[in-house]
Amino acid sequence: MSAKKKDKVEEKKDKVEENCDSIKEEDEDEEKEEEEKEEEEEEEEDGSSSSSASSSPVNPEDPVVQDIPESVEDFLRNFLRKLGLTRTLSLFELEWHSRARGGGGGIFVPDALTHRQALLEKLEAVRGDAEQLRKQVLTAAQSLLRMQQESDYHRQQHRRLSEQKHVLTGDCKQLQEQLQDSQEALKRLRDKHEAALRTKTLLGLQKERAQRLPEPEPETPSRKPPPSSPSGAMEPCGLPAGPEAPEKSSFQLFCSFRAHQLPISGVAPHPGRPLLASASDDRTWRLWDLPRSGEKVARMLLIGEGHSDWLSGCSFHPEGSRLATTSGDKTVRLWDFSACRCVLLLAGHSQPTWGSSFHSGGHILASCSADGTARMWDPSRGCCRMILRRHGASVNSVAFLPCSDLLLTSSADKTVVVWDGRLGVSTATFRGHRHPCNHAAFSPTTNAVASCDSRGTVHLWDTRKPAAPTGVVDAGPHAANQVAFNQSGKLLAVASGDCLVRLVEAESCGVSSLAGHRKSVQSVTFDLQGGTLMSAGSDGLINVWL
């Protein structure tokens, strides 16, 4: 049995030796092939280096190729061969090649030099990153220092500005207090000035009123009154006509001032002083001291508030101490300048009131309304004395003939009617308008009557011949809102809706125009001397023409 085992071991040894020889031969062949390939690569590198050297000089900064140490298996083979451990070498090669043929990958065990070189490269990279970080840190530190300096500078500026703001705030408060005190003082002075102007105006009115009082006369035998004219109450008693009455046919704009912010519906001149009253849609009336020679601005003396709706017109009492106003609140109010308040409220109309007029004696006040009636009031008792019913539509204007009981009304029913105020009956009716009548006025010194309608047509009438107009003037197509005679009765002013004031000569019906308003002209009037024309419009302006 031992002999057989020996034989088997020897056979195995022989087979191992044969395998080792075959493996050695294969390794030798592989080594030869590798050596040949290395020689070919070296030749190719030598050729390329020679060509590059011939074409361009060698750059000393080019990377140097380093020799990589031999692999681990070659090291082991050389080590075993050097020691003569052939059997161990054969077993190693057998197991190594069988493992390589079986697909098992070898484990790369780097040597110390390779590991050292890799570590050096990593260390160099880390040092470069550290250097970059150091530079970034230095830059950030410089930026931080600069930002801190800027922050300190801005903080100082902020503190300085805060102190200046505090000082300026204190100065501003002091100035506001001084301004408030100055405004209060100015207001007090203005109130005193207005009170002084009112007192002066009222004293002037009272003085004129006292001068008008009749002086007591000694008893004398009764005398018969002068015979009245054939026309009875139709004869007016205004200013005397003829050469003594001032005549003026052309006007120029003297001054213009804003009286209200809203449209002005009507103006009325004071019977004895250069004063003018205005009524507006802002529910107030105002009393103005008209500018005199050398002045261009009117002064407001009084303002009246009390109506709950827009105002449509105003008229002075013959004595000039009271003012009547009409409004859209359906009432007529009577204002006393001495008391600076409303002293009488007349309510009776069922629709807005359009206008009012005092009798020359001051004991009767007439008003007209959109309810189609005209009323005659007793201001002393505050009651309605008479209602005039004839018109079939709104009564738009009412006016007394000076020193007469005759009353003139115009209506939207296209008619103009003359009434006897004592009896309440109509004495004449003027028909000829084709459109609603807006206004009508008596001539102070003649028997003429003028009327205008919503189409801009102006008719001139003779109270003794009411059948047909004596003259027709076409001022359309815009509405004619109001007409007014001067004291001589020879010139007629027309307030037109096309922003113009037209002047009509009563005898020839010649027409001229005055431009100065921006919107529709609502009211025109002459002063008592006839030398000044006042106009007011929807633009809130009052123009004075000389």
Q: Look at residue 396 and give its three-state secondary structure.
A: strand
Query: Residue ranges per domain, the chain?
Result: 122-198, 253-545
- Do residues 348 and 333 make contact, with C-beta atoms less than 8 angstroms apart? no
The DSSP string of 80-94 is HHHHT-HHHHHHHHH
- Do residues 199 and 192 make contact, with C-beta atoms less than 8 angstroms apart? no
Residue that is written with structure tokens 């205004």 in the block: 238
Q: What is the pLDDT along the chain (546 residues), one digit of tens a residue?
A: 455 555 655 665 666 566 656 666 666 666 676 677 666 666 665 555 444 444 444 454 556 565 665 677 888 888 889 899 999 989 988 888 888 777 655 555 556 778 888 899 999 999 999 999 999 999 999 999 999 999 999 999 999 999 999 999 999 999 999 999 999 999 899 888 877 877 777 777 767 667 766 655 544 444 444 443 333 344 444 443 444 445 777 899 999 999 999 999 999 999 988 999 999 999 999 999 998 766 778 888 889 999 999 999 999 999 999 999 999 999 999 999 888 899 999 999 999 999 999 999 999 999 999 999 999 999 999 999 999 999 999 999 999 998 899 999 999 999 999 999 999 999 999 999 999 999 999 998 888 999 999 999 999 999 999 889 999 999 889 999 999 999 999 999 999 999 999 999 999 999 999 999 999 999 999 998 888 999 999 999 999 998
Q: What is the Cα–Cα distance from 315 to 334, expressed in whole angstroms?
A: 10
Classify residue 482 as exposed, middle or buried by CB count within 10 Å of its CB (0-12, 13-18, 19+): buried
CATH number of 253-545: 2.130.10.10
Q: What is the Cα–Cα distance from 108 to 104, expressed in whole angstroms?
A: 13
Q: Within its chain, how far is the Cα of 478 from the centroid?
A: 32
| The amino acid at 310 | W
pLDDT value for 227: 40
Spatial neighbors of 346 by CB under 8 A, at least 6 apart, are 331, 332, 333, 334, 365, 367, 377, 382, 384
pLDDT value for 234: 40
**Angle (deg, nearest 10), helices 86-101 and 72-83:** 160
The pTM score is 0.62
